[in-house]
Amino acid sequence: MKEFAVFWGCTIQARFPFLEKSVRTVMEGMGLPYRDLSGFTCCPEKSLVNNVDHGLWLLTGARNVALAEAEGLNIVSPCTGCVSNLSTVKSELNADPRKKGEVNALLNGVGRRFEGRAGLSHLVPFFHDEVGAQRIRSAMKKDFKGMRVAVHYGCHMMRPSHALKNDDPLEPKKFDNLVRTLGAESVDHSTKLMCCGQGLDRVDQHDTALHMARLKLRELKNRAVDAMVLCCPSCFLQFDNNQHLMEKEGERFGVPVFYFTDLMGLAMGYTADELGLGLHRVDAGPFLKKWEEVSSRPSSRTAFEEEMRAVTFAMDRL
């Protein structure tokens, strides 16, 4: 596998270092050749930057891509927003040579050049396409058979599709495939592809943000899932922090929220502590407890096979 640069983005490093820990633990455990690059800035974020100055949004994104291109590296990001923004900038500039020329004229002033060639992937499609099920399975010590997990893709993992081109934008499959590779059931639900709504918290509309979070959490509670899994710090903020805030006010959901690498890491044999799960606001305990119970129980297949062996043995003696 070719070496790649990780684009952490602002939110993970500033607010959720334990998510960084989880991602690093899994990537190191699997021996993936990643590199930390110096000099990245904010991707930049769409709602706070693109809504004010589209030109600066393009220029900043192009500079970030140029940093990886100068090292001959592709970018992989555990943040859907970052990868969607960088990809949209790349797609817009590659489709418009005049604009690309203007951007490069400015970048030239700081000794950079945007080629628009670096591959940009989100961690989930990267695990699906580049790491692959076989390598994932061989790294696993334990699976999640018997556990019911709700996958939350997060809009910007695959949209806008003209820029990301990595999965079906309205019926994605890759995250589900990975969760099934880990042995869990991916529980279908009607709000699966619904936007988390965290963007509303960034524009001073906290109550509406909570309203959006509640719609999904209520459904997941009714579907009796053991946890939800996502891979975006913004969605994580919405479902972990905001769920906790609502629970403090007396609404009970009890849906633990995991990053993709949390589940992956647990399956690889890392402990909850090593993955920073104790720093999540919503208690992951009930999930871990059930997992322990389920995995210590002999599976129905094993029980059946044992019974068959006993019967065959008895028949042999006749």
Stretch near another protein under the rule CB under 8 A, chosen from 89-97, 106-114, 247-255, 310-318: 106-114
The closest alpha carbon to 244, from 278, 189, 282, belongs to: 282
Q: Strand 148-151 and strand 120-122: pairing?
A: unpaired
Contact yes or no for 192/150 (Cβ under 8 A): yes
- Which of 27, 67, 184, 210 binds another protein (CB under 8 A)? It is 67
Q: How far is the CB of 12 from another protein (least distance, A)?
A: 9
- Confirm or reject binding of residue 33 to another protein (CB under 8 A): no
- Confirm or reject binding of residue 83 to another protein (CB under 8 A): no
Q: Which is nearer to another protein, 117 or 211 (CB)?
A: 211
Q: Which is nearer to another protein, 80 or 121 (CB)?
A: 80
Measured distance CA(176)–CA(208) in Å, rounded: 29
Q: Which is nearer to another protein, 169 or 254 (CB)?
A: 169
Cα Rg of the chain, angstroms? 22
Look up residue 110 and give its DSSP letter: T
The amino acid sitting at 13 is Q
Contact yes or no for 231/260 (Cβ under 8 A): yes
For residue 117 the two structure tokens come to: 């060639």
- Which of 63, 122, 189, 192 binds another protein (CB under 8 A)? It is 63
Stretch near another protein under the rule CB under 8 A, chosen from 143-151, 161-169, 253-261, 303-311: 161-169
Site track 115-154 with another protein (rule: CB under 8 A), x = hit: ----------------------------------------
- Confirm or reject binding of residue 48 to another protein (CB under 8 A): yes
Look up residue 36 and give its DSSP letter: P
What is the footprint of another protein within residues 213-272 (CB under 8 A)?
Answer: 215
Measured distance CA(234)–CA(196) in Å, rounded: 8
Q: How far is the CB of 193 from another protein (least distance, A)?
A: 8
The closest alpha carbon to 73, from 82, 64, 85, belongs to: 64
Q: How far, in Å, are 143, 181, 183 from residue 140 at the CA level?
A: 7, 10, 10
Stretch near another protein under the rule CB under 8 A, chosen from 59-67, 129-137, 250-258, 264-272: 59-67
- Confirm or reject binding of residue 70 to another protein (CB under 8 A): no
- Confirm or reject binding of residue 170 to another protein (CB under 8 A): yes
The sign of the CA dihedral 88, 90, 91, 96 is positive
Q: How far is the CB of 28 from another protein (least distance, A)?
A: 11
Q: Which helix (H) or strand (E) holds 185?
A: strand 185-186
Q: Which is nearer to another protein, 184 or 212 (CB)?
A: 212
Q: State the DSSP string of 111-165.
A: T----S-S-EEEHHHHIIIIIHHHHHHHH-SS--TT-EEEE---GGGT-SHHHH-
What is the footprint of another protein within residues 195-214 (CB under 8 A)?
Answer: 195, 197, 199-200, 202-205, 208, 211-212
Interacting residue ranges for another protein, rule: CB under 8 A: 8, 10-11, 13-15, 17-18, 20-21, 24, 36-42, 44-52, 54-56, 59-60, 63, 67, 106-107, 109-110, 112, 155-156, 159-162, 169-170, 193-195, 197, 199-200, 202-205, 208, 211-212, 215, 276
